[in-house]
Structure 1
Amino acid sequence: MQTYHDKEWGVPSRDERYLFEMLTLEGAQAGLSWLTVLKKRKAYQQAFHHFDISTCARMKDVELEEILRTQTVVRHRQKIYSVRGNAAAIQRIQKEQGSFASYLWSYTQDKQIVHHWQIESDIPAKNELSECISRDLKKKGFLFVGPVIIYSFLQAIGIVNDHVWGCSLYLQE
């Protein structure tokens, strides 16, 4: 957890594959601890072709069923199938807007939002931005993109920097 916090969480990213990976992992985390999902991250990378978007969008039911039977991932049928559907939805956004990253970062005019929370308990589970993006993603056919999941996703990919005062990464971009 510390390595993830220090090396990834809150670091701005525009890498399509990484964005897809984080969206998938955040969706998988729903109802579970983040540590549980992080421990399964390598299995997710292996099962989902290192999050190659076009490959995941073409996955067949038989392959998804095999993942449910044999992989060390969160074995939740809708979460597994959502990976394929979300990959296809990302492809539609890429076609319309050039990239998934451009779509996401357009909500903040390509600027990171830095909050000035004093302690972790000040950090909200969701906000207006995550609610807005969640609604739009759902309209575009995404699954497991509720406002709480999206807020965590925005933190993970660095659109939102919620490192608290006293953290060595506070105010770093």
Structure 2
Amino acid sequence: MEKIRCGWCEKDDLYRDYHDHIWGKPVYDDETIFEFMTLESFQAGLSWYTVLSKRENFKKAFDDFDYKKIAAYDEAKVEELMKNTGIIRNRMKITATINNARRFMEVQKQFGTFSKYIWSFVNGQPIINHPKTLEDVPATSEISDALAKDLKTRGFKFMGSTVVYAHMQATGMICDHLVDCHCK
């Protein structure tokens, strides 16, 4: 019997694997949270599939998403990344990633971990929605609005409410698997 999945992931095996094993699973470690923040920020204005298909290239280009290394990137590294055809070569998004790595570490200093900070917006527990159709899944929420606003006041870039909501879905802060999906 074939597994029933959320309809958005039926494009190919890459998407199905991401849906079945990653999307919506709670993430509490700062390294993975930063990885998804970076990938989600590069998605702004593009499809998630475009970013997901380049995930391994991003991982290599951005030192395994090591935010401590990324925070120290200089203009020469930005130019190197701009020449990397394996990633999305958008100077604003690249410099935003460097900025966000620095802001990320500031939040860690204040809260102990970035995870404590970000999960506080959902009281440390995933929000489980029960959408029946893809049309029932919102692009933003009051929580993503509040988190995006707070991130902006902390100096983060490319982390608007839609990007933040997608990040919350990817890292399991919000579970939007459809009610008939095998992953719900």
TM-score with structure 1 length normalisation?
0.96
Query: Aligned to 1:107, what secondary structure does the other structure show?
Result: helix
Q: Is 2:33 the counterpart of 1:19?
A: yes
Q: Percent identity?
A: 38
Q: CA RMSD in A?
A: 0.7
Question: 1:108, CA displacement in angstroms?
Answer: 1.3
C-alpha separation between the residues in 1 aligned to 2:58 and 2:128? 30
List aligned pairs for 1:1-173, cutoff 5 A. 1-170=15-184
Question: 1:71, CA displacement in angstroms?
Answer: 4.0
Query: Aligned to 1:102, what secondary structure does the other structure show?
Result: helix
The aligned amino acid for 1:6 is D
The aligned amino acid for 2:16 is Q
The aligned amino acid for 1:142 is F
Question: 1:70, CA displacement in angstroms?
Answer: 2.5
CA contact (8 A) 1:47 1:71 kept: no
CA contact (8 A) 1:43 1:71 kept: no
C-alpha separation between the residues in 2 aligned to 1:126 and 1:3? 24
CA contact (8 A) 1:13 1:157 kept: yes
- Moved beyond 6 Å, runs of 4+: none
Question: 1:109, CA displacement in angstroms?
Answer: 1.3
The aligned amino acid for 2:73 is M
What residue ranges of structure 1 are gaps of 5+ in the alignment? Answer: none
TM-score with structure 2 length normalisation?
0.91
Question: 1:64, CA displacement in angstroms?
Answer: 1.3
Query: Aligned to 1:70, what secondary structure does the other structure show?
Result: coil
Question: 1:152, CA displacement in angstroms?
Answer: 0.2
C-alpha separation between the residues in 2 aligned to 1:31 and 1:86? 18
